[in-house]
């Protein structure tokens, strides 16, 4: 979304069925003109319609130490709210930490902002799918938020190589058939999601 309030309004208006579930794939802030309104609006929707709205964490909703560049959200807060900016960013960071890294749709598709991690332990897999405040190892979080799931592609920012095959190894007993990410456009079983 990157602060695109008109885009968010368009998505919400397009929902015809009150039973629909909307899964947003991250990157709500930074760059856009209405990043505060988009993030606040999404949090409001998620609180009001908790059964129908799922917010994933993107690389622009960073844990401390994984801030993207540019990351102008703190400056926008300072510009708009002055002395309250630091507290608002602290509250925003708490909200970022509540966002999930993955969603599984109908037991067939996995949705993530970036790509699958290149390595993991069974315990970390369970942690990533649980709804707790505890994050898995930071290197795993970094890859989930930043990896691009192409064969033989290296993430230039972090020098990480990953591939779609990783997802098959990632959840062998979950029968997942589709991988949806916000970071690529591809035909077939790997799809770009709407963020």
The model's pTM = 0.79
- Mind listing the pLDDT tens digit of every residue in the chain (195 residues)? 899 999 999 999 999 888 889 999 999 999 889 999 999 999 999 999 999 999 999 999 988 888 888 899 999 999 999 999 999 999 999 999 999 888 888 777 778 888 777 765 554 555 655 555 566 678 878 888 887 765 554 444 443 444 445 455 555 445 566 777 786 544 344 344 443
Count other C-beta atoms under 10 Å from residue 85's C-beta: 17
Structurally, how many domains does the chain consist of?
A: 2
90 and 178 both lie in a single domain: no
Q: Over the stretch 106-149, which tens digit does the pLDDT of each residue have? A: 777 778 888 777 765 554 555 655 555 566 678 878 888 887 76
d(Cα 76, Cα 70) in Å, to the nearest integer? 12
Please list the residues that pair with 153 across neighbouring strands.
162
Pick the closest to residue 149 from 138, 160, 162 (CA basis).
162
Sequence-distant contacts of 68-71: CB under 8 A, at least 24 apart: 68/30, 70/30, 70/31, 71/30
Please list the residues that pair with 55 across neighbouring strands.
24
4 and 95 both lie in a single domain: yes
Please give the distance of CA 2 from its chain centroid, rounded to a whole number: 12
Q: How many residues belong to the chain?
A: 195
* CATH value at residue 70: 3.60.21.10
114 and 90 both lie in a single domain: no
- Report the catalytic residues: 60
């Amino acid at each position: 979304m990157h602060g695109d309030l008109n885009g968010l309004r368009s998505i919400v208006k397009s929902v015809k069925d009150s039973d629909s579930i909307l899964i947003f794939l991250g990157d709500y802030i930074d760059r856009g003109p209405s990043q505060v309104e988009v993030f606040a609006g999404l949090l409001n929707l998620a609180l009001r319609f908790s059964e129908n709205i799922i917010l994933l964490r993107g690389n622009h909703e960073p844990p401390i130490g994984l801030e993207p560049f540019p990351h102008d959200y703190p400056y926008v807060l300072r510009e708009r709210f002055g002395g309250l900016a630091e507290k608002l960013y602290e509250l925003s960071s708490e909200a970022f930490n509540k966002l999930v890294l993955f969603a599984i749709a109908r037991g067939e598709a996995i949705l993530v902002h970036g790509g699958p991690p290149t390595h993991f332990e069974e315990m970390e897999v369970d942690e990533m799918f649980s709804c707790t405040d505890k994050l898995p190892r930071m290197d795993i979080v970094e890859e989930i938020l930043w990896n691009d799931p192409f064969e033989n592609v290296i993430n230039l920012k972090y020098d990480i190589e990953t591939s779609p095959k990783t997802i098959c190894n990632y959840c062998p007993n979950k029968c997942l058939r589709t991988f949806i990410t916000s970071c690529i456009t591809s035909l077939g079983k790997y799809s770009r999601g709407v963020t």
